Chain A
C-alpha cells in the first residue's frame, strides 16, 4: 500500500509522533524520520528500528496536516532496506515454527509479517 507523500512539506508540528502508538519503542520517532529523509540522512533511517517497529496503522497519515504521512516515508525506507540482498529477517522456513509455537496465531498475521519483514 502506498500513499502520496511529500516529506518536504513537513512543518515539524510533531502531531505524527504525538499520535503514534508505537512511538515508545522507536529510536527515531516519525517526525524525526521525516526530517532525516529531507536531509538525506539515509543511513540513520535505514539503521533505525523505526522501519520495523512502525505498525503501519496510518494514524500519522490521518492526522498529518501537511500531506506528509510519515508512514509512507517509513514504508519506502523499509522496502529499500529489505530489497537489499540478505536484508530479510524472516524466511519462509520460519513459518512452520511460528505456527507450532502458537497454534492460535492468526494466519493473516503471518502472511502480513512475511510481506513486511521479508
Chain B
C-alpha cells in the first residue's frame, strides 16, 4: 500500500512543465454512491451530485489541498486592500458543451440563478452589495462589508457557473435540459442509465490545451457495500471514492497489488465528527460532566480500531485542515481517573443518559458501543437509542436527546462551517445542522461576528484562537474525530486527487498509465 504523499500539485506547474509523459486516452470506472438525484449542480448539491457534476460544471476558482485558490474559469483574481472589491479575469475562448461561447454574462446570470436555488451560496452572497461585468471577461463583486471567508466560496460545488442561454427566462426546476446538463467543464454528459451508470466523455474543445487526458468516465451505481468491494477486486471498477466501502474492507483492498489509497481530497470539507451534548437539561447541562465525557472517551482507540487508523483526533471545534486552526487549547487525553474526579466534584447521581448513534452503518454503531463502554467504566450509565435517518433528523432537530452522534463539513473557513454550531443566533428548532446543543455564550458570539468580517488574516487568526480556547474549555459538544475517507484506486491512475475537494473536480488532471 502506497500512501499518496502531500501532492500540493499546482496546476500552473503542470501546465508550465507540460510533458511529464502524461498519456492520453483510456476509460475510467468509478463508483458513485448513492445514485445522485440529478446532475444539475445549480439546483441540487447532494454529495453524489457534486462528485459527478463537478466534472461537467466549473466554478470561478478551484482550491488546492492547502485550500489556496487556484485558477479555474477565472485565470486571475484580486481582492482590494479593504476587502470590499473582488475582481476576476476570466479565461478566454471558453465555450459551453453545446458550442455557445461562455462570457461574464453567464457568471452574472449564475449569481441570480444560485440565489434562488443554493442555500449555502445565498448565505455567502448575503455579504455582497452588487456584481458587475465591465467587459466579457471581467467580473467585479462589490461587498457590503469585508468578509474573509468569501474567497473560499467559488469552487464548483459552492458556486457552479450555469449557462444563461439555456436557463434564462425558463422555469429552472422543470427545464428539460436538466436531464442533459451543459457545462464548461472537462467532461461532457453522454448518457445516464438509471440504476446502472452515468457516462461522461472528454470535452474535445476544453480551453486548457492537453486536458483532460481520459476519454471516457463511467460512474457506476452499485447499491450494496460488499458488492462495491467485489467490483473493485474483480477490476470492474478502478476508483472507490471515500466511504464507498466499509472501513474493515479498506485494509483488505489496499493490500492488493497495484492498489493505492489516499486520504487527501477532503480538506475543503474537513468532515468533523462529534457528539451533540444537550446543554439545556440533564447531567449534560453541567460543564464538568461534559469535560468528564471528553476525558472518559478513548478517542485514539476508536480511531485505530473502528476507523482502521484513518483520521485525526481533534483538539476542538475547528479541524486541523481548516484555515485558522490552533492546537493551543486545553487538552483532553484519555484519562478515566480525571473523569471520575470531575463527576465526583459535580456530585453526579448516576442518572442514565441516552445516546443516539448516527444511522449510517456498522461503523457508527460500533462507535456508539465503544463510547457507551468507555462512559460506563467511569460510572455513566448510557442507553443507546435507535433511530433511522428520518428519526435521527427529527430527534436532533427537536432537541430530544442527551448525546447524539453527528458529523458536519467545514468548507475551509470557521465562519462558513464552524460558527453555525456555536452561536446563539443559530439556536433554532427544526434543523439538525445548527447550534443543536444549545450553547449560549454572548461573549463568544461577539468574537465570532468580529472574526467573520475582519479583513486582516492575522487578526482573524488571533480572534479564532481566542474562540477555540474558550470553547474547548466549555466543551459544548464532545469532539470525536476528524474523519478521513480514503479514496482507493489503481496505482496506474495518476494525478487523481489534486484539489481540496478531491474527486469532485479532480478528473480534469487525471491520466491513466498503460
Q: Do A and B bind?
A: no
